[in-house]
Structure 1
């Protein structure tokens, strides 16, 4: 049927004039109507002037001028009428928009111009259809319109050559914009790495560049080959940070000859993926799974069955594992376990599970239990029965009495090498006294977020302490919290001047990491006595003075003099630290001046030259 209809259409030859009229949407009816309108108007004008064919003026020039004026007037009248009609339509549109403005259920801005512009589109000339002729908006050449004809800058269509040139220009502008955006992103990435302590001055190593290249093209990699364990773990850290550790990329980090599997972000892994880990790497001795939110009882059973040499377990947020499976894990695999680190466990890990862990894991040397919501004082008492305990890190949400902590330190303190007690708010000076009396092998000590221990307790701890110098000390947020008395009590709570001096006198020679954040009772004079340029601390690499409001530019200059190995100095909230010139290989983070970067990196000056420039600026 359609074929016959198509065959019945008879078309004759078309002239150039016909094509031109069709391209410009000019029809014979339009030409006829325009001619008749002009003719009628001319007759009306002649009748109004009382002139007929026999009364024409003899002056030919005047006749031509009158004819031209009449023609112009005729041409202007339709244009004026059209503009007047458009103006009336615009007014109607505005009125209708105003009436709809208060109606509910409309999304977006009621004063927006989108609908207004759409309504005006009805008065625009329609674009030629494919197959019609049009003049190029740029070169004005006549061409045949196709479905792929591009739109020009003024709204018209473009011929093929001009369209290609416009596409090239647009591509160049987009590439330039993308490059500019990439530059800013790269700069922010560098600053972020410096804040994380992962970037220093100078060129990157070849290994680092290769690792970054692999991480960037992770979708195209089928296997990593025989990479060393350290490089593989570094790649795993980058994959986890970029959130690309998924079932597709997980096999890259699994080999039967490996003795450890480290996945810091396992949020995308499911039960089958955990079973794959234990099936492919049955000889593993170390397992680290962060954000293990999909790990269930079946995965624990499979791990117990396949991995008989497990020594190190580190699981974060494994909240789908029931209490029975935790107990089964410690009963059947506990005899070989040496390290247990558990964090962010919710309702299925209670004090009874800790009791089973202590009972069936006699060889545990390192225990970390942080933010496990159901643990309390009984768990602390059970931990005091671990005979081989050397490293202990605790952060328990429930209230724990001072007696339980003192009992723990008295029983296990002699063997401890690291001790971390976070957010034990009610722990008092007796805990520090127990540490002083029983701990003589510590290299790391953290007592943070406490508002009970006094400065006298810290002074007593570090005075005549029979313990080697510490390498890591964290006493952040040890201060009195009372909004009605911002200066604190007369006897300072937390680390204050005398305690700080005693700490540096005891451990300054070996100290590498010092965190004094929010220890606001340390006076400026104490900082000057410790960091005076005469005393040096050769191993100190990291110092955090955030919100120690007595620290100023002079204190920072003294730190630069006294700490030749310093790499990072954090000073958030120290508003008297200004106009600092940072020596080379040192990162100063948190200087609060708005016109400076939040992180300033040394640019080649030595300590003496940097300090001399600071003196010049201060003068």
Structure 2
């Protein structure tokens, strides 16, 4: 190979010079190495060259004459095993320390092919080295003390029958086992682990180690990174790196610096290396104690097990018999989730005495199946149909004629029902209609909304979600419903629901509203908060402005600041209002901090840690969602646990500063912590 090719792509592994191939580079980058070949048999000393055994070995080598590298390697392995077995059987009392007195040990064990071991198992390498050392030592001792009688004995032993060789091999195996047991007892007396082997002396634990000294990642475990006992993970106030401190050494309000920043400060800007602690210094019991988390064991009741069994075999059930309404609802949820609710299984849930019916997935229920609801349940007062895409005008007309006691109707996905069918239904129900919810309807028009408000003046709950034709004209018609207590507008089309008509509507009916939701109303502005809700909605208890990008921090502050006409909110949803700052949440807590029960501030990443910690003052808080609030960490969670004793559910998705050391308590359900899901991958 020419020397001009010794460039960037040249390798010198195994004393071979030249450019590497793409496959070789790929294997080197990923740390893939070939296994180490067995050592070559030791060269016999000159004194034993005239013995009959040596002459037989030389004649065997001359007759074999292997030409390939594989043949030489196989011959070397066989000769090494034979030499090790014979020498161990003959002199089992010789130890490996005698190898230190042999100055030619390195030269004898070198390979003629000039091979450099790339990936070597320390355990296998040590065993091979010990065998070679014993072989060289014993052969040297035999040659120095050789006599005619010993030569004759050796010559005789070479011609012994195979039975003597088997006995010698058995003795060699027994001697090796005894020596291994003695070394294990010695390690045990020094405090070592019973599971360790010969590789423990050099810290590799018998794993493969390459020429760079790096150990493979087979021993890597997420559990070994867990903090020990009462230690606490904190973040450096300068470089924001996470590090572990001992329990009881952290002062409240003190500035925490990682060892790197602390060493740099103490040494005038010179960084000091951090000494890594060995995981071997920690006992297994301490690791288990650190990883133990409190898990509430929820054993299903016998009733729940029976309900699951019935739901899984719903196709074979002919009738439920006398079963409670709660159990019926559970079965309906399970089979709806499994997409087993169809026109046949629907008949199991129909009872002439039934007054409330909820079907959670009507995708596979045909129009005739939906029609049978009014036939078999004429006394229905509340009907909820989800994913009812197959309901049509004939079914709605049949309901208007036969469901004479219907007061509440909820439809999700009636995409083929026309405005005329809705109008006939509203005229037939009339003043007894108290609740109407419509989701994902594409044909509910202005005429249907006008007939609804004129024919059903006693409506108390009204909800429109994802209705394509919803616009400001609906707001003018809804203004006639003076008995409304709950009003929801969700995800209207852009530029369809604007500020001025909404302000006019709330000024008309806002005095009776208890629940108000503007989810996804992008065109509403602060005037709705300050000119309509603040002066008119004095009885408001639940407010949702989920995704209302038109509302600002100043508008929320002006709404809640010194709002003495309102007694306080119990449920507030400000999810995805990403521009809200600390002033918005502070004004809410000052007004409704003592009455809040459910709060959703998901996605408000502009909030500071100090403001988030004030949520601990909400004594009645039961559900809290602080997902994607970057200021939430272990300290904030600990503050919540100490302040809010009624907190039952805490959602923390996207908060990567919450570590595995985050405290918890019995009865609290924490959802979304990263370390919980990472830990499942390593268990």
Deviations 1:330-377 (A, max 9, x none): 12223221100000011x111221111111111110001000111111
Question: Does the CA-based 8 Å contact 2:515-2:542 persist in structure 1?
Answer: yes
Q: 1:352 aligns with which of 438, 447, 456?
A: 447
In structure 1, the residue matched to 2:479 is 384
Contact kept? 1:592, 1:598, Cα under 8 Å: no
Q: Does 1:528 align with 2:613?
A: yes
CA contact (8 A) 1:278 1:303 kept: yes
**Aligned position for 1:66:** none
Q: Which residue of 1 aligns with 2:540?
A: 442
Partner residue of 2:13?
Answer: none
Report the Cα offset of residue 255 of structure 1.
Answer: 0.3
Q: 2:501 pairs with 404, 408, 411, which one? A: 404
| In 2: Cα distance, 1:212 partner to 1:469 partner | 42
2:637 matches 1:539: no
CA shift for structure 1 position 597? 5.2
For 1:596, what is the secondary structure of its paired residue? Answer: helix
1:523-557 alpha-carbon deviations (Å, 9 max, x no partner): 111122342xxx3x333221111111122221111
Q: Per the alignment, in what secondary structure is the counterpart of residue 342 of structure 1? A: strand
Task: Tell me the distance in 2 between the aligned counterparts of 1:596 and 1:566.
Answer: 25
Q: Does 1:313 align with 2:409?
A: yes
Distance 1:425-1:456 versus aligned 2 partners, 3 A rule = same
Is the counterpart of residue 462 in structure 1 residue 547 in structure 2?
no
What does residue 604 of structure 2 align with?
Answer: 519
Within 2, Cα distance between the matches of 1:416 and 1:201?
Answer: 42
The structure 1 residue matched to 2:637, chosen from 541, 556, 560, is: 556
Give the secondary-structure state (helix, strand or coil) at the position aligned to 1:251. helix
Q: Distance in 2 between matches of 1:405 and 1:422?
A: 14
Aligned equivalents of 1:595 and 1:541: distance in 2? 24
In structure 1, what is the Cα distance between the partners aligned to 2:346 and 2:614? 54
Number of aligned residue pairs: 382
Q: Determine if contact 1:295/1:321 at 8 Å carries over to the other structure.
A: yes
Secondary structure class of the residue paired with 1:520 = coil
Tell me how far apart the structure 2 counterparts of residues 288 and 595 of structure 1 sit (CA, whole Å). Answer: 36
Q: Match of 1:435, SS?
A: helix
Residue matched to 1:299: 395
Q: Does 1:574 align with 2:655?
A: yes
2:353 maps to 1:261? no
In structure 2, the residue corresponding to 1:473 is in which secondary structure? Answer: strand
**Matched ranges for 1:2-401 at <5 A:** 201-346=297-442, 348-395=443-490, 396-399=492-495, 400-401=497-498
Q: Structure 1 stretches (4+) deviating beyond 4 angstroms? A: none
Aligned partners of 1:541, 1:207: CA distance in 2, in Å? 28
Aligned-pair CA distance for 1:227: 2.4
Moved more, 522-531 or 539-548: 522-531
SS state of the match for residue 294, structure 1? coil
TM-score by length of 2: 0.54
Q: Distance in 2 between matches of 1:563 and 1:597?
A: 28
Structure with more relative contact order (C-alpha pairs < 8 Å, separation 6 or more): 2
- Find the aligned partners of 1:200 and 1:286 in 2 and give their Cα distance: 36
Over the residues paired in the alignment, what is the CA RMSD in angstroms? Answer: 2.0
Q: CA shift at 1:319, angstroms?
A: 1.0
SS in 1 for 2:441: coil
CA-CA distance at 1:598 after TM superposition: 8.5
Question: Given the superposition, is the C-alpha separation of residues 355 and 597 from structure 1 closer, same or farther in structure 2, using an over 3 Å criterion?
Answer: farther
Cα pair distance change 1:594/1:254, threshold 3 Å:
closer
Distance 1:200 1:378, change over 3 A: farther
Distance 1:343 1:597 in 2: 40
Distance across 2 between alignment mates of 1:234 and 1:417: 30
Instruction: Give the drift of 1:516.
Output: 0.2
Determine if contact 1:261/1:288 at 8 Å carries over to the other structure: yes
1:207 to 1:393, Cα distance in 2 relative to 1, 3 A: farther
In structure 2, the CA distance between the partners of 1:470 and 1:280, relative to structure 1 (3 Å rule), is same
State the alpha-carbon separation in 1 of the partners of residues 577 and 307 from structure 2.
40
SS of aligned partner of 1:330: helix
Q: Is the 8 A contact 1:472 1:514 kept in 2?
A: yes
Query: Which ranges in structure 1 are unaligned for 5 or more consecutive residues?
Result: 1-198, 480-492, 600-619
Q: Does 1:478 align with 2:577?
A: yes
* Deviation for aligned residue 1:200: 6.3
Q: Distance in 2 between matches of 1:505 and 1:360?
A: 43
The corresponding residue for 1:453 is: 551
SS at match of 2:340: coil
Work out the CA distance in 1 between the residues paired with 2:400 and 2:571: 36
Give structure 2 stretches of 5+ with no counterpart: 1-294
1:394 and 1:420 in contact (8 A); partners too: yes
Structure 1 match to 2:516: 419
CA separation in 2, counterparts of 1:206 and 1:386? Answer: 48
Query: Aligned to 2:670, what secondary structure does the other structure show?
Result: strand
TM-score, normalised relative to structure 1: 0.59
